[in-house]
């Protein structure tokens, strides 16, 4: 693995610049496939580091190639899109940005999932690798991916000829900031992040004046009954030995209190770890929606539109152990945690799957350690430690940033050849 200490020695020198970059990215988030400012800044920095830079891959994706003699090819991946969330962190660098969502709505935008931290850490790791070329050999393919939040970015880059245009990797590596103690990392071998399916469900009624419900087929009542009944899918149709989540994240209907509308829209999110369970849950959701529509006397069948689909993320067991061992040697065994599978979802695994090579994707903590331990002791983690996608989610800058840079650099060197 070369002299890792020599590679990491400069982390103190670049910390201030990386902190400023992180805060700038956090203050200027962009929605999926609209990450033009972010992509331009990434490309500028990659060019300054001397990498071969390609922009516009899969829309707004950026790829930097660092060639350093013969040896393995390691793919490093960071995602850089944000979410339609109104930030409430109160930070000096909090986002006030707005954007247009896929339905044409003007929405607030926030880095509520830490992708700004992912980008910053990957650029930091590349800086360290560039300035310590004498310690390693091989090729690094640095992927900065758009549209992870909608499960479309990795596929878009692959469909844009990624594997033909850039060196084919021997392993795919990546990381995600998560709400556990900063300064630690965690890994899961095997199935590690759930498959996810998003559905837009449109239920059709018959509109009428609010004073004359007898003339209507009320889609608000129909949709409300459906939301409640969907809560029985996991509790009554999935074995206690399996894992599934069904969430109705959005319900929309009507424009005025005295008008019964003619349709309602639900947005349903489904998470599973097993293909058989996935099929059963999706069919149960559709069956219940149709049944509630029929029970309400709907004159038109509901419509189902796929919104997104994330594959199950499977960490190669051997690749995960190899990476974990390198992290333990550098960070200390007490700072490398064995985690349980996460019900969140990721599309990073598509790169390894398409290339036919192992994937290892790990997590690094972003919560001030004392705050986390106090909340755990009090049994208030869900209340006092904001999770990803919360309007209050904001990783503490340090030691999160230094840990993320160190982890990605260490993992890359575990797969590159030593000199």
pLDDT digits (tens, 9 = 90+) for 235-286: 999 999 999 999 999 999 999 999 999 999 999 999 999 999 999 999 999 9
Q: Give the pLDDT score at 404.
A: 98
Q: Give the pLDDT score at 106.
A: 97
The pLDDT of residue 413 is above 80? yes
The pLDDT of residue 6 is above 90? no
Mean pLDDT, residues 291-300: 98
The pLDDT of residue 79 is above 70? yes
Tell me if 266 sits within 8 A of 248, measured CB to CB. Answer: yes
Residue 118 in marked binding region:
no
Mean pLDDT, residues 323-327: 98
Round to whole Å and give the CA distance between 122 and 77.
8
Round to whole Å and give the CA distance between 389 and 177.
12
Residue 172 in marked binding region:
no
Mean pLDDT, residues 203-221: 98
Q: Would you state the structure tokens that stand for residue 79, as one six-digit string?
A: 């995602």
The pLDDT of residue 66 is above 90? yes
Mean pLDDT, residues 318-322: 98
Round to whole Å and give the CA distance between 32 and 131.
32
Residues 6+ apart with CB under 8 A from 105: none
Q: At what angle do helices 275-295 and 219-230 cross, to 10 degrees?
A: 150
The pLDDT of residue 330 is above 90? yes
Q: Give the pLDDT score at 5.
A: 87
Mean pLDDT, residues 37-42: 98
Any idea which residue has 């790169």 for tokens? Answer: 351
Mean pLDDT, residues 11-25: 98
Residue 36 in marked binding region:
no
Round to whole Å and give the CA distance between 275 and 281.
10
* C-alpha dihedral sign at 399, 404, 409, 410: positive
**What integer best gives the mean pLDDT of the chain?**
97
CA distances from 283 to 294, 324, 343 (A): 16, 39, 20
Percent helix, strand, coil in the chain (nearest 5)? 40, 30, 30
- Is 106 exposed, middle or buried (CB count within 10 Å of its CB: 0-12, 13-18, 19+)? exposed
Mean pLDDT, residues 197-206: 98
Any idea which residue has 């690798």 for tokens? Answer: 129
CB atoms within 10 A of CB 225: 17
Picking from 21, 83, 54, 28, the residue whose alpha carbon sits closest to that of residue 144 is: 54
Residues 6+ apart with CB under 8 A from 193: 312, 313, 341, 342, 343, 344, 345, 346, 361
The kind and range of the H/E element at 123 are helix 115-130
Residue 149 in marked binding region:
yes
Residue 176 in marked binding region:
yes
Task: Enumerate domains of the chain plus CATH numbers.
Answer: 4-193+312-418 (3.40.630.10), 195-309 (3.30.70.360)
Q: What's the DSSP call for residue 339?
A: P
Mean pLDDT, residues 331-335: 97
Q: Give the pLDDT score at 2.
A: 61
Q: Give the pLDDT score at 1.
A: 63
Exposed e or buried b per residue across 364-375, where buried means at least 16 C-beta atoms within 10 angstroms of its C-beta: bbbbbeeebeeb
Tell me if 80 sits within 8 A of 96, measured CB to CB. Answer: no
Q: Give the pLDDT score at 3.
A: 79
Q: Would you state the structure tokens that stand for residue 341, as one six-digit string?
A: 């599978």
Residues 6+ apart with CB under 8 A from 236: none
What backbone phi and psi angles, to 5 degrees, belong to 317? -60, -45
Round to whole Å and give the CA distance between 364 and 401.
9
């Amino acid at each position: 693995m070369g002299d890792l200490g020599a590679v990491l020695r400069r982390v103190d020198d670049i910390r201030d610049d990386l902190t400023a970059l992180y805060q700038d990215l956090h203050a200027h988030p962009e929605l999926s496939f609209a990450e033009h400012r972010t992509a331009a800044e990434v490309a500028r920095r990659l060019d300054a580091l001397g990498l071969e830079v390609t922009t516009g891959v899969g829309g707004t994706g950026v790829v930097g190639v660092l060639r350093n003699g013969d040896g393995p090819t390691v793919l490093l991946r960071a995602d850089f899109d944000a979410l339609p969330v109104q930030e409430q962190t109160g930070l000096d660098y909090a986002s006030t940005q707005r954007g247009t969502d896929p339905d044409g709505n003007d929405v607030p935008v926030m880095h509520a999932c830490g992708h700004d931290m992912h980008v910053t850490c990957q650029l930091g790791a590349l800086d360290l690798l560039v300035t310590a070329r004498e310690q390693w050999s091989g090729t690094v393919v640095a992927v900065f991916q758009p549209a992870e939040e909608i499960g479309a970015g990795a596929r878009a880059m692959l469909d844009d000829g990624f594997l033909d245009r850039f060196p084919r990797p021997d392993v795919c590596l990546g990381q995600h900031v998560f709400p556990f103690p900063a300064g630690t990392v965690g890994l899961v071998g095997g199935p590690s992040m759930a498959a996810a399916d998003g559905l837009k469900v449109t239920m059709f009624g018959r509109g009428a004046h609010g004073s004359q419900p007898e003339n209507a087929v009320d889609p608000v009542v129909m949709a409300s009954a459906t939301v409640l009944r969907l809560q029985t899918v996991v509790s009554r149709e999935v074995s206690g030995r399996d894992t599934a989540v069904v969430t109705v994240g959005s319900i929309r209907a009507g424009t005025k209190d005295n008008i019964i509308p003619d349709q309602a829209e639900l947005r349903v999110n489904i998470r599973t770890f097993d293909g058989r369970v996935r099929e059963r849950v999706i069919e149960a959701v559709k069956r219940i929606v149709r049944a509630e529509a029929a029970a309400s006397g709907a004159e038109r069948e509901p419509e189902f539109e796929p919104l997104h689909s994330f594959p199950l993320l499977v960490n190669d067991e051997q690749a995960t152990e190899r990476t974990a061992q390198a992290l333990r040697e550098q960070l200390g065994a007490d700072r490398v945690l064995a985690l349980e599978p996460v019900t969140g979802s990721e599309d990073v695994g598509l790169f390894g799957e398409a290339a036919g090579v192992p994937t290892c994707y790990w997590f690094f903590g972003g919560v001030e350690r004392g705050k986390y331990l106090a909340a755990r002791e009090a049994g208030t983690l869900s209340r006092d430690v904001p999770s990803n996608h919360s309007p209050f989610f904001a990783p503490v800058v340090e030691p999160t940033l230094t840990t993320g840079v160190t982890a990605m650099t260490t993992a890359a060197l575990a797969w590159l050849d030593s000199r």
